[in-house]
Amino acid sequence: MLKRFNVTGICIPEQNYMVDISSRLDVIVSDYIEEGKYFTINCARQYGKTTTLYLLEQRLKQQYTVIQLSFEAADDLFVSLYALAAGLQRKISRILKMQQVSPVLLEKWDAILSEQFPLDDLNERITELCSNSDKKIILIVDEVDKSSDNQIFLSFLGLLRNKYLEQLKKNDCTFASVILAGVYNIKNLKIKLHPDQELKYNSPWNIAADFKVNMNFMPDEIAAMLQEYEADHHTGMDISVISRLIYDYTSGYPYLVSRICQLADEDLSGTERFPQKSDVWTPAGIMAAEALLRKSSNTLFDDMIKKMADYPKLKQMILDILFCGNTYSFEIENPLINLGVTFGFMKDREGIVAIGNRIFETKLYDLFLSELAVDSMIYQTGVMERSQYIINGTLQMKLVMQKFCQHFTEIYSESDQKFVEKQGRKIFLLYLKPIINGKGNYYIEAQTRDMKRTDIIIDYLGKQYIVELKIWHGKEYNQRGEKQLFDYLEFYNIDTGYMLSFNFNQNKKTGMKEIILNGKYIYEVVV
């Protein structure tokens, strides 16, 4: 049976094409487990935590007794201290039986708990179990932040913490290592004890070691996965090019990497545009898979939409980054930045806050633009005129720029400078989106995005177009921008580029002009 790409549940190496994370597991075992550390693995949703924990358990269970729990749908554990103690006792008992722990130990573990002092009894059972077990015991709890907003949960953390500290003092025996996995870092989690109380930082998990293992998939790791696929399917793909392109779009976000590959293999291969697998494992095929991913419904994007609604200040910061070119120093202590990193929406790029990956960035643009499109005249103009911009499957980008100049002048000629400086990028993307919608996609080149200049890379049916947007700041600055765009065209091996200049001089000359340098063409539109 041939393997398949998988994005739901646990990835099984024998059944699924997947990145080999054995080197990560080696580090977790040597630097954390064998050192007896308690730690948390915190990653955004669908970041491969559950698969990592499954493979880690398989690695450890030859040497250790591994107790792996999940707090997913475990709210009933946290209604009282007795429910917590009895529930953990029952769940752990089932696992111990599966791992063939001695009947004597099981009998002691299963003894009835005191209803008056249930945690004290659970404490003693853990000591008894760990003291008399033939193997050291590892505790792993997935989805640990699902029930982290009540006092019962704090009692659970406090129990683990106290036993850990007592063991260091040789006064107790407890789990050799504890791993708590979830989205939020409970080491610094805001805990809300009652509806009428303020949120407060109050987690007793300050004993946890910092977890520094990078969970992103790197280009060489993606390449190794594709090499395995290629050995089965013989597509003739250029693995180094395809793996790098997938990484460029995803920044190694595990779900996005696997989903692009799955869409290429299962949804696009065999279609009219990509009749053979060899056709889809090309840059054009990967770009089509990325576009299909962004348009599809999935829990990751559903969660993104919900988070934007739940955290309006975070949404506004992202809006300012995307549309206004605002920059923010990356300070993880900033609650908004911390939240953005927790959800995978933000990352540190050389000390500046950046959007987590290109797919998230474009999806956020799409989300915000869809909200703005309802009342946008420039968007509706793009909708009405889009048919004239596509001839024989080719995007007529020069005409797009010419018509945008015309419509911008008609609609925004009375707008003041501050409005256009802030809204110019948004206005152009609102016009562009319905024109390329369905068959094209775009992204913003992060290295050139600021308040004065940004480069938009448009892909339409495999052909790329580069558009530089900038605010006019004098002739010398403009010439410097032209030179940068020519260099950019050289880098991308593209002959023609486009420049949109927002000029607020009263004597400006609007319209389009053509600039030629070393066989490269720039069509510059001034509005």
- Let me know: does 266 contact 246? Beta carbons within 8 Å: no
pTM, entire model: 0.89
Q: What is the pLDDT along the chain (527 residues), one digit of tens a residue?
A: 789 999 998 999 999 999 999 999 999 999 999 999 999 999 999 999 999 999 999 999 989 999 999 998 888 898 999 999 999 999 999 999 998 888 999 999 999 999 999 999 999 999 999 999 999 999 999 998 877 667 888 888 999 999 999 999 999 999 999 999 998 877 665 544 344 444 444 567 888 999 999 999 999 999 999 999 999 999 999 999 999 999 999 999 999 999 999 999 999 999 999 999 999 999 999 999 999 999 888 999 999 999 999 999 999 999 999 988 888 999 998 989 999 999 999 999 999 999 999 999 999 999 999 998 888 899 999 999 888 999 988 999 999 999 999 999 889 877 777 777 778 888 999 999 999 987 788 888 766 555 556 788 898 888 889 998 887 665 655 666 677 788 878 888 889 999 998 887 767 778 898 988 788 899 999 88
- Let me know: does 431 contact 384? Beta carbons within 8 Å: no
The length of the chain in residues reads 527
Pick the CATH number of 20-201 from 3.40.50, 3.20.20, 3.10.450, 3.40.720: 3.40.50
- Let me know: does 110 contact 116? Beta carbons within 8 Å: no
- Let me know: does 179 contact 41? Beta carbons within 8 Å: yes
| The CA-based dihedral angle spanning residues 1, 257, 247, 298, taken in that order and rounded to the nearest 10 degrees | 150
Domain boundary assignment for the chain: 20-201, 219-296, 389-527
Tell the burial category of 404 from Cβ atoms under 10 Å away from its Cβ (0-12, 13-18, 19+).
buried
DSSP state of 114: P
**Residue 48 phi/psi, 5° resolution?**
85, 15
Tell the burial category of 303 from Cβ atoms under 10 Å away from its Cβ (0-12, 13-18, 19+).
middle
Q: How far apart are CA 45 and CA 146, in angstroms?
A: 13
Smallest CA-to-CA distance from 393 within 240, 272, 514 is with 272
pLDDT reported for residue 197: 45
- Let me know: does 167 contact 83? Beta carbons within 8 Å: no
Smallest CA-to-CA distance from 456 within 446, 332, 142 is with 446
Q: Hey, what are 396's tokens?
A: 């007529």
Distances (CA, A) of 344 to 10, 78, 108, 357: 20, 28, 44, 9
201 forms bridges with which residues in the sheet?
A: 190
Number of C-beta neighbours around residue 200 at 10 A: 10
pLDDT reported for residue 194: 44
Mapped to the 3 state alphabet, what secondary structure does 472-491 carry?
A: CCCHHHHHHHHHHHHHHHHH
Q: Hey, what are 229's tokens?
A: 């696929």
DSSP state of 441: E
- Let me know: does 166 contact 126? Beta carbons within 8 Å: no
Q: How far apart are CA 504 and CA 362, in angstroms?
A: 29
